[in-house]
Structure 1
């Protein structure tokens, strides 16, 4: 009898794991495809708007977003992560979380709007008052759909979630380009951001199956709020490691320097962020479901690390190697000073995407206290490095950022993985091959460029040729190992399998 029960439990566990893998594969393909479209929209926005707006326009908006980004730390209250991580979440619990988000959204709009004169006085730019007032409305729009977006991710309904994101990005692009073309300057960027947030929030609300009820007592959200408070506290201290550089450059060096730095950073990070974003969207809810199964948790975490490394590391190396050609192509004339900043930031970007697994492991295991403490230490080290680098200007800040992130990588991994199924060795084993093959491919392209020079006006041809050479070398080096060949075969196999499933469903619907 006991053997029969054990067999039944084992079969149920295997079935649940297979279902999770199926949802992860489907979700990964959907989000990667959707994110590819989003990257295309953002790249189009960057290329077009950089030719219609000046570095000072971008610097002006960056001054305001540094402030609104700080306020945005409290908009979510960490409650979306709490909703995703919590197994067995009730409608009453999520409804209370929804109303907490809405209340905070209105409060932040009032606070930021009231502080707009102080923002203008801090930067000594009176025209920042109007932009700050406009962007303060973002908090209301986004708070109305925070729990709806969390529900879509928790249920792995990535088609709906991605559709809302893509349509919002397209709306933002249309408004920004139209206004920039008509001479609205930095207002084009501000109105574009606001429009994108509004459209995305409306669609999230429509697409999500979650329908909030009126607030109720006794729903048992104290634990969820505690989890969210730790996440918010982490975001609060982590803000300084993400935005203190912008504040220091804007205050002590100027808007033009901030514009150059901001564009270099955004151009380096936006394709990487959009690659790891879909993986994290799938990985966090999946890891949360595996927290009671350590072996599956460890294998899944290693897979996430390996995929992020295989996608982000070659991209970072290629962008750095070809920065002399990519910057003029992407941003147009007048941005040459961003090239050196771009290359320096690539050292940070090489490890930053894969390092994000630290937060996923801690949160999915429910260790939000440890997540907060790590954030305090990380913020302290990075903030000190920015102040030390400020003496040498924008490039000094970029160098200090890279050195700091490299130095703290190993100890932070040990701390983040403590008492979890994942260890530091898993991390470095997962990134070793992508890191080495990416660097080797970059060195090959550099050697080719030294041996074969090309006129600056043929930049597009150089980037195309270098991307082809880099890709062939990278694929060739990875195919030398069995694990590399499996990964190269894995992704197209998943795509073909997904296409077959879609075709079979369509055929069944016609029968």
Structure 2
């Protein structure tokens, strides 16, 4: 199978693995809406950024450093394993000590216990970094899915049971810990690698030299990805923060999981072409067309059906979150392009440019958030749409400069999928408005019209791509 097809197939398996690892958790979150109020989700939103920063410290770029190495030895694997374990312990004790200060910032004492227990997952996850890196080098995301699915099902079922028994927000914490334990255990069971007593300070320094810039870049990304719930919880009400967090979690099921799959798969796949810019560009263009043909209608469909989805599934107090979801999804329409453009920098080892771009973007984010927060919550959401448009240009500049992939070429590669989705979205809304059905039938009708028209348009205008996607799905 060619690199483009192997990569596309790996995206499908990686997407399935992420649905297993996180998707079930999100579905559990949807069920918990029956037992929890928006304020409870706001409590979870308050600690999310700190747990994510701890996870980033534990990883410190070692996983991607392992993936990027052209040749790898047992010594390098073992070195990374022990380094991640030590960093995981450091991250946990930092969070343990900082918990009272975080609770004081939000004036919420319950955060102390929640953070100290939930952050144990960071130590547990440090035991799986090498296994995940090794499987990613092989593009073996099927094995990762087979480890993630049982972990997600078991931990999710227990979380629902605990929520039913009135454990409230602690059900989510227990789910996180159990999911980490089971997933790590299954990865160790399925993957034959075991650490040895070999440790090379030279190898550690080499990997860290690449990884530390990536760590700072990822930490900035995490901080500013989560700065919205952090600021919303501080400036607005806990209920508003909960609605935002809830909408973002639903978007995550469709958007963030696909994005993670793109990052996880394209980095090791394109890294194999890093020495040949022409082949790298050709593989990149094939990958981006397949991904955007699937992604854009997926997000467009989510924006389309979200009002009826909330009306059908959730209590009335959650309905305002559907508007949040629509705007957040609109902002996410360019995310895969951002991710793929930045992966070019990772593939070519330009973590220095990556860090510079992240700093630049965070300055823009700070300015936009500081401005929109003075207006209201909806202005804050639309600010994310503006940011996504602004971020495209510096990301695209470097992919053009490094591999010669121009704006005009990229526009030709992806414009069909955006134009088709936008037109069909409008047609679907018009059809539903003319019929006047209830929520369930409106949702079904909108979905059928949107999906069938999109497939017809792509079949007429881009038959080679449809054939390639079907072959990839069949072989995946």
TM range (shorter): over 0.9
Matches within 5 A, 1:293-332: 293-332=276-315
Q: Structure 1 residues 238, 24: closer, same or farther in 2, change over 3 A? A: closer
Q: Is the contact between residue 358 and residue 417 of structure 1 (CA under 8 Å) also seen in structure 2?
A: no
Segment of structure 1 superposing worse, 143-152 or 35-44: 35-44
Asked if the contact 2:16/2:145 (under 8 Å) is kept, the reply is no
How far off is 1:198 after superposition? 1.5
Measured in 1, the distance between the counterparts of 2:65 and 2:300 equals 35
1:494 aligned to 2:472? yes
After superposition, residues 17-166 of structure 1 pair within 5 angstroms as: 20=3, 23-24=6-7, 26-35=9-18, 41-42=24-25, 44-166=27-149
Which residue, 337, 341, 345 being the options, matches 1:354? Answer: 337
Any conservation in 1 of the 2:290–2:469 contact (CA below 8 Å)? no
Matched, 1:461 2:461: no
Structure 2: how far apart are the matches of 1:103 and 1:312? 38
- RCO (CA 8 Å, sep 6+): is it higher in 1 or 2? 2
- Which residue number corresponds to residue 508 of structure 1? none
Structure 1 range deviating more: 486-495 or 433-442: 486-495
1:265 pairs with one of 222, 245, 248: 248
Aligned to 2:457: 477
Using the alignment, how far apart are the partners of 1:209 and 1:195 within structure 2?
Answer: 22
Question: What's the C-alpha RMSD, in Å, of the aligned pairs?
Answer: 2.1
> Does the CA-based 8 Å contact 2:278-2:403 persist in structure 1?
no
Question: Structure 1 residue aligned with 2:372, among 379, 389, 407?
Answer: 389
Structure 1 unpaired stretches of 5+: 1-17, 499-511
Structure of greater Rg: 1
1:274 matched to 2:248 = no
CA distance in 2, matches of 1:390, 1:374: 24
The match for 2:190 is: 207
For residues 443 and 360 of structure 2, the distance between their equivalents in structure 1, rounded to whole angstroms, comes to: 40
Deviation at 1:76, TM superposition (A): 0.2
Deviations 1:453-479 (A, max 9, x none): 22xxx3122111110000111112212
TM-superposed deviation, 1:37? 5.5
Instruction: Give the 3-state SS of the residue equivalent to 1:89 in structure 2.
Output: coil
Q: What is the rounded CA distance, in whole Å, between the counterparts of 2:279 and 2:2 in structure 1?
A: 13
Higher deviation after alignment, 344-353 or 87-96? 344-353
Which deviates further from its counterpart, 100-109 or 277-286?
277-286
Distance of aligned partners of 1:122 and 1:100 in 2 relative to their CA distance in 1, 3 Å threshold: same
Task: Tell me, yes or no, if the aligned pair for 1:92 and 1:219 is still in contact at 8 Å.
Answer: no
* TM-score (norm: length of structure 1): 0.88
Q: Quick one: structure 1 residues 344 and 24, their matched pair in 2 at CA, closer, same or farther if it must change by over 3 Å?
A: closer
Q: How big is the shift at 1:43?
A: 5.4
Structure 1 pair 370–416 and aligned structure 2 pair: CA distance change class (3 A): farther
Aligned residues: 476
Partner of 1:419: 402
Q: Is the CA contact (8 Å cut-off) linking 1:238 and 1:378 kept in structure 2?
A: no
Task: State whether residues 244 and 386 of structure 1, in contact with CA within 8 Å, keep that contact through their aligned partners in structure 2.
Answer: no
Residues 128 and 171 (structure 1), Cα distance of their counterparts in 2 relative to 1, 3 Å cut: same
Provide closer, same or farther for how the CA distance between residues 218 and 117 of structure 1 changes in structure 2, counting only shifts above 3 A: closer
Cα distance in 2, alignment partners of residues 280 and 411 from structure 1: 18
Query: CA separation in 2, counterparts of 1:145 and 1:394?
Result: 38
- Paired position in structure 1 for 2:363: 380
Q: Distance in 2 between matches of 1:173 and 1:479?
A: 39
Q: What does the per-residue CA deviation read over 1:408-455, in whole Å, with 9 as the maximum and x for residues that have no partner?
A: 31233103442235333343222111111110110101111232222x
How far off is 1:47 after superposition?
3.0
SS of alignment partner, residue 402 of structure 2: coil
Change (3 A) 1:159 1:179: same
Deviation of 1:171 after TM superposition, in Å, equals 2.4
Given that residues 429 and 446 in structure 2 are in contact (C-alpha distance below 8 angstroms), is that contact kept between their aligned partners in structure 1? no
Asked if the contact 2:9–2:473 (Cα under 8 Å) also holds between the matched residues in 1, the reply is: no
CA contact (8 A) 1:46 1:331 kept: no
Alignment check: 8 A CA contact 2:17 2:141 kept: no
Distance 1:140 1:320 in 2: 37
Higher alpha-carbon deviation: 46-55 or 132-141 = 46-55
Looking at structure 2, the residues matched to 127 and 245 of structure 1 have their Cα atoms a distance apart, in angstroms, of 21
Over 3 Å counting, the alpha-carbon distance change for 1:22 and 1:341 in structure 2 is: closer
After TM superposition, the structure 1 = structure 2 runs for residues 185-224 of structure 1, keeping only pairs within 5 Å, are: 185-217=168-200, 219-224=202-207
Whether contact under 8 Å (2:299, 2:333) holds in the other structure is yes
